[in-house]
Amino acid sequence: MITFLQNVLDALSLGSLYALTALGIGLIFGVLKLINFAHGDFITFGAYALIIPSSADVAQVLVGGWSWELLIPTVCIAVIAIALASDYLVFRPLRGASPPTLMAASFALSYVIQNAIMVIYGARPKSVNLWPVLGDQTHVGPLTIPNLNLVTIAVTLALMVGMTIVLRRTSVGIQMRAAAEDFRMARYLGVRADLVIGLAFVISGALAAVAALLLVAQTGSLTQTMGQPIALFAFIATVVGGMGSLAGAVVGGFVIGAIVIMFQAYLPPDLRAFRDAFAFAFVILVLVAKPSGLLRAKGLVERV
């Protein structure tokens, strides 16, 4: 029972990371119908923003050494800047292009960011010790919980609540939801496209920055491909949850996190190496049973 609870906490923590990422991907998809493959590289960029650009083997921490009140906004601003720059340089010229074209463009963008980071920082992994206090553990009764898991879950919940309030209560949030539902109709009714799209990239970038910090705190190392696996799982999460549904992206993220952790815990030991294969195969089975995902989004079925 205790191990099961422990696993549930692990699943919640991993699911939080996937949910944050899937939400960032889902927001952009909702507004632009763009599957942003570069989201994982936004995360990587956020992590690299902690150190001084150089190809030396030992990382010199700059932003990473600041106090958290200063560090978090700085990394957020850095990632938001690259997200907005990506939109301006790549996606804005492609407004109105078909979803497969947009997807291919974001694939190219991802490749460019990843390799540009390699050109600037060198190919070797670097180690960064961010917030060592999070490595400690808290004991609650018989449970041993890494502080990082608690922080991850708490931060995710806070961001979800915050986003729900923004999306439901503020004017700009309601405009975003309207745009996600039917972009053309929303524009007819006076929603400013640039504002909504820009805001989607800002929020998506901020979510990527938070994911980056949680990831660095967890792994303590930087590589050019560090964001990729998370983004891959998050893509699958958006499909499982139901493409175009923001709640679906979050639910999908937690579902994938739970699947991965439970496979890790309960598969026979010699099959554990195949955990990811089982997780993804399971996801494909879910999709065969429910092709439009767990939460079906409105307004995505083409009407003739």
Using CB under 8 A, pick the residue from 99, 144, 165, 170 that binds other proteins: 99
Helical axes 2-32 vs 171-181, angle rounded to 10°: 80
Q: How many residues does the chain have?
A: 304
Nearer to other proteins, 104 or 153 (CB): 104
Contacts of 247 (CB under 8 A, 6+ apart): 241, 295
Assess 302 for contact with other proteins (CB under 8 A). yes
- Whole-angstrom Cα distance, residue 195 to residue 204? 14
The interface with other proteins within residues 217-276 (CB under 8 A) comprises: 228, 232, 235-236, 238-239, 243, 273-276
Query: Could you tell me which stretch among 116-124, 140-148, 172-180, 200-208 binds other proteins (CB under 8 A)?
Result: 116-124
Nearer to other proteins, 213 or 236 (CB): 236
Contacts of 112 (CB under 8 A, 6+ apart): none
What token pair was written down for 137? 């553990």
Nearer to other proteins, 117 or 217 (CB): 117
- Which residues, listed in sequence order, are joined to residue 51 by a DSSP beta bridge? 61
- Whole-angstrom Cα distance, residue 137 to residue 143? 10
What is residue 13's three-state secondary structure?
A: helix
The interface with other proteins within residues 40-69 (CB under 8 A) comprises: none
Min dist CB 12 to other proteins, Å, is 23
Assess 8 for contact with other proteins (CB under 8 A). no
DSSP sequence for 166-200: HHHHSHHHHHHHHHHH-HHHHHHTT--HHHHHHHH
Q: At which residue do the structure tokens 């923004």 appear?
A: 166
Nearer to other proteins, 134 or 300 (CB): 300
Nearer to other proteins, 110 or 204 (CB): 110
Instruction: Name the residues that contact other proteins, by CB under 8 A.
Output: 33, 35, 90, 93-94, 96-101, 103-105, 107-109, 111-112, 114-116, 118-119, 123, 184, 228, 232, 235-236, 238-239, 243, 273-277, 280-281, 283-285, 287-288, 291-293, 300, 302, 304
